[in-house]
Chain A
Amino acid sequence: MNSLPDTPFEASASLDVRADFPALHQEINGRPLVYLDSAASAQQPQVVIDAVSRYQSHDHANVHRGVHTLSHRATDAYESARNRIRAFINAASLSEVVFTKGTTESINLVAQSFARPRLKPGDRIVVSHMEHHANIVPWQIVCGQTGAELVVTPIDERGQLDLEALDRQLDDRVAMLAIGHVSNALGTINPIADICRLAHERDIPVLVDGAQGVPHGSVDVAALGCDFYAFSGHKMFGPTGTGVLYGREALLEDMPPYQGGGDMILEVRFDGTVYNELPYKFEAGTPNISGFVGLAAAVDYLETIGMQRIARHEQALLGILTKRLGDIPGVRLIGTAAHKASVQSFVVEDIHPHDIGTLVDQQGVAIRTGHHCAMPVMQYFDVPGTARASLALYNDENDVDRLIAALDRAIRMFQ
């Protein structure tokens, strides 16, 4: 994060925003819902739901096509969403903000349109051991297509990247570095600005998987210095099916389209087609217009509260959660990096994570259990999966109390 606070534990344990999120106000199995799975998908505030509904009710038409009034309104809404998101991540121009359906599509786009044409047999792509499958498999595919090799940067027992190993690995065979900003399974925040400097000294382009980065603090792509930054709307309180690829304009300009279709062309002739300018070259077909209207509303919402405040709140609550979990006999924390976002994985001695997940759900507490689409992380820590509690701006100390009580109950049941 660019905005990690220096004194993480001084903030209050509530931001008083729960009332903004209608989904939080329900009972699950007879108990008020405690939602601790925002790292998988975050709940949406009413302002996002309303923005989508307002657009669908009054402004919807296709974008960039018609001359009629609704088409103008839809295009305005969609393009102002792009500008809103551009400003949010401090991209230099609208050409650098490509809308996709999610982080996964953003990464696949870069793998196929950027990496694939450049790679030759023997070239290397470096990823880390803590990556989500979405930042592993697209690179394995492109390695299969080109004869390039995937190289994995190790992590340590706290779940931190081995920066010395990375330094050694980034040699002149490396054509691409793909690295997560924040590990979804471990919560580790990687020092992206330093890593980008290191890679750029050797002319290695860097893609950052920012799916877990954007929700937890302000992200400034210029300050980070990355070449590509991929993220998803639904992890930052926006609608599903919305994603963003930030890319340096000079790189995007040179890349062939990822998909062909409507909206990505200037002129189609059977003897040759002229592609549209950036970012439309990468947006074939009718986009998720209402989704991006909702995502822009989510950005407005987050900025009204303040990303710094959100980060301070989450850090304070993470400190409480980690301490309380660590105090339970038989609990082993997985992911104890010095710099972490508000995600805590853990395992309980002799109780499988799925049993934990089912039992705490019976108490109205929603956590994620399993391998978190990060099976290499599970292999490293030699566990089949973990239970994971992730904290967002709407969580408070009561949520932590409820989780701990539900865990105590589950552990007693298995004794």
Chain B
Amino acid sequence: MKAAPTSGDSPQGEHELYREVILDHARNPRNFGALENATHTVDGINPLCGDRLTLYVDIDGERLDAVRFDGHGCAISLASASLLTVAVQGRSVEDALELRDNILRLLEQGIDYLGPATPQHSALAALAGVRGFPSRIKCATLIWQALGQALKRRDAGPNPTVTTE
């Protein structure tokens, strides 16, 4: 008996998900490790797999002066977090939130609003490989959800937690 065709993944479909830039950021995550004196700290938890990432942001007025993360996760969640830290460092809060919205639209709906094809944008666009792997989309979105939580909460208080569920 033959199965119904799957979503067109070839045996090499894994390279769609694990593109070289993703593997690079997963093996050597940038800005990894806690940020002392962070103004905002958010824990992101994926209860499905038990992954836990912590995002640290230092906001000076309206600018993200420093962004770091730590924790454990799969290659996709680590690469996504690493790419995030590189992409939003130095941006204004407003810019960072817009990028977050655009990344979530790309990952969840496949709509690319990332704009001109700069090298940074093409690195971020590599995350779109999760589109063919529905069970892995949340791995990529987790840290961006955490960023939104951090930036939308401007007051002090206990660290919030976001989950993928």
Contact = CB atoms under 8 A, between A and B. Distances in A.
Interface of A: 22, 25-31, 33, 351-355, 358-359, 362-363, 369-371, 375, 378, 384-385, 413-414
Nearest to A29: B9
Contacts of A359: 14, 18
A414 B75 contact: yes
Nearest to A409: B14
Given A25-B1, A384-B50, 8 more contacts: A27-B3, A29-B9, A353-B74, A355-B76, A358-B14, A358-B133, A362-B14, A414-B75
A352 B73 contact: yes
Contacts of A370: 48-50
A31 B50 contact: no
17 contacts: A26-B2, A28-B6, A33-B3, A351-B75, A352-B72, A354-B49, A354-B74, A354-B76, A354-B136, A355-B18, A355-B74, A359-B18, A370-B50, A384-B49, A384-B72, A385-B49, A413-B14
Contact of B11 (A31, A358, A385): A31
A20 B81 CA distance: 46
Given A354-B139, A358-B136, A26 B1 contact: yes
Q: Give the secondary structure class of B's interface.
A: loop
B93 interface: no
Contact of B74 (A352, A362, A375): A352
B51 interface: yes
Contacts of A369: 49
Contacts of B136: 354, 358
A29 B11 contact: yes
Nearest to A378: B50
Nearest to B17: A358
Interface string B130-161: 00010110010000000000000000000000
A394 B155 CA distance: 58
A362 B50 CA distance: 23
Contact of A29 (B6, B27, B50, B52): B6
A363 B49 contact: no
B69 to A, nearest CB: 16
Interface centre among B6, B23, B50, B52 (most CB of A within 10 A): B50
Interface in B19-61: 23, 27, 48-52
Contact of A352 (B10, B52, B75, B135): B75
A166 B154 CA distance: 51
B110 interface: no
B23 A414 contact: yes
Given A25-B1, A27-B2, A362 B48 contact: no
A362 B13 contact: yes
A22 B136 CA distance: 28
A22 B3 CA distance: 10
